[in-house]
Amino acid sequence: MLNVLWLQSGGCGGCSMSLLCADTADFPAMLHAAGVKLLWHPSLSRESGHELVDLLEACLAGTQRLDVLCVEGALLRGPNGTGRFHLLAGTGQPMTQWVQRLAAVATHVVAVGSCAAWGGISAAGANETEACGLQYEDDRPGGLLGSGFRSGSGLPVVNVAGCPTHPGWVVDTLMALAAGALGPDDLDTLARPRFYADQLVHHGCTRNEFYEFKASAEKPSDLGCMMEHMGCKGTQAHADCNTRLWNGQGSCTRGGYACISCTEPGFQDPGHPYHQTPKIAGIPIGLPTDMPKAWFVALASLSKSATPRRVKANATADHVVVAPAARKTRLG
C-alpha cells in the first residue's frame, strides 16, 4: 500500500472538498482498491492532537514509512521568513518547518492545487503572508523547498495544479505513484502530470463551433465563444476539463463561465478583470497556444466572413434561436 500523509497549509480547503466529489459511492474503498492508504487527512481522519504529532514524529524517525507527502494550500513564510503566521496546532512549530522536514524523508512530494504548486490565490496582490508554492513562486523555480529539491524517488514536487483540482487528477496521480507509473517523462515542463496537462481546456469545449467562426458571446448568458470578449483562456490553459467533466457532466465553460486558466502560474493576478479580454488594436492579447498573431488575424477575418447565419444568431442568445437545418447527408 502507498502511505499518503495529507497536510493543509494556507488556503481554503477547496481541493479537499473537490476530492470528495470523486466519481465513487465509497471513497475509502476506492483508495484501498487503488493501493492507497491515507495515513492522515485533516478532514477525513479521526486522529488529532498528540496522535497526529506522534504520527509525524514516527514518519521523521523512519518507524512509519512515508510514501507520499501531499500538501494542500500555499506555504506561509511570513512574517519576515519565520513562518509563524501558520503554526501547526499543538507543536509551536511553523508548518513550513514541518513540511521541509517531512519532504526530506518522503518518497514522493505532491502539491495539491495551484496554491501548493505556485502560491495561487493565497499569494495574490501584495502577498503579505509571503505565501509561495512548494517548489515554485508563481512561474519562478524555488518556493519553499528550492528548485534543486528532489524527493526520495528522484522526482521534483509533482504539481497537481488547479483551483480547485479535479478529483480525478489527484486520484489518478496517487494511483500512478502506487503503480510506479509516474516518472520524469510523465511530467510536463512545470512538473504537472502530463495525463491532464498535455490537454487544453479548449479541447472538447461545447462552444468550439462558435470559436471556429469567431462568433463571440457579448454577455455572460450568451452561447457564443467567450475568448474574444469575455476573458476565456481555454485555448491556453493546460487541463482536460471539457473531456474529463466535473461531477460527470460539467465544466466552467459549459456552465457559462470563462476559463481563468487556474492550472497556470500567475492566474490569480492576470492584470485585467477575469471576465474581460484585454486587447491591443482590437486583437486579443492572449491568443491560442502556439498560434502566431498574424495567422490568428487572418483566420479570424476569414472565419467571420464565412459565419453561417445560424451560428451568428445563436452566439449572442441564451438559447438556440436558429436550429441546424435538416438535410439529407447520404451521397447516393
Give the residue from 196, 213, 231 where a domain finishes: 196
Q: How far is CA 97 from CA 82, 84, 102, 143, 156, in A?
A: 9, 10, 9, 13, 18
DSSP string, 100-151: HHHHHH-SEEEEESHHHHH-GGGG-TT-TT-EE-SSEETTEE-TTT-TT---
Answer yes or no: do 162 and 237 share one domain: no
Distance CA 116, CA 122 (A): 9
Full-model pTM: 0.93
User: Is 331 within a domain?
Assistant: no
Answer yes or no: do 285 and 151 share one domain: no
Number of structural domains (the chain) is: 2
Answer yes or no: do 17 and 76 share one domain: yes
Residue 289 pLDDT: 73
Residue 332 pLDDT: 64
Give the residue from 149, 174, 196 where a domain finishes: 196
Q: Which set of grid coordinates corresponds to residue 212?
A: 471556429
For 331, residues 6+ apart whose C-beta sits below 8 A from its C-beta are: none
Answer yes or no: do 192 and 294 share one domain: no
Residue 16 pLDDT: 96
Answer yes or no: do 267 and 155 share one domain: no
DSSP state, residue 185: G
Q: Which tens digits make up the pLDDT trace of 133-178?
A: 999 999 999 999 999 999 999 999 999 999 999 999 999 999 999 9
User: Is 328 within a domain?
Assistant: no
> What three-state secondary structure class fits 208?
helix
Neighbours of 80 (CB within 10 A): 8
Residue 83 pLDDT: 97
Give the residue from 196, 226, 242 where a domain finishes: 196
Answer yes or no: do 203 and 192 share one domain: no
Residues of the chain with pLDDT under 70: 332
Answer yes or no: do 183 and 282 share one domain: no
Distance CA 226, CA 236 (A): 13
CA atoms lying within 13 Å on the CB side of residue 191: 29
User: Is 244 within a domain?
Assistant: yes
Residue 270 pLDDT: 93
User: Is 204 within a domain?
Assistant: yes
Residue 330 pLDDT: 76
Residue 155 pLDDT: 98
Distance CA 322, CA 235 (A): 27
Answer yes or no: do 158 and 251 share one domain: no
Q: Which domain holds residue 134?
A: 2-196
Answer yes or no: do 71 and 146 share one domain: yes
Distance CA 302, CA 9 (A): 50
DSSP state, residue 211: H
User: Is 208 within a domain?
Assistant: yes
Residue 257: which CATH number? 4.10.480.10
Residue 145: which CATH number? 3.40.50.700
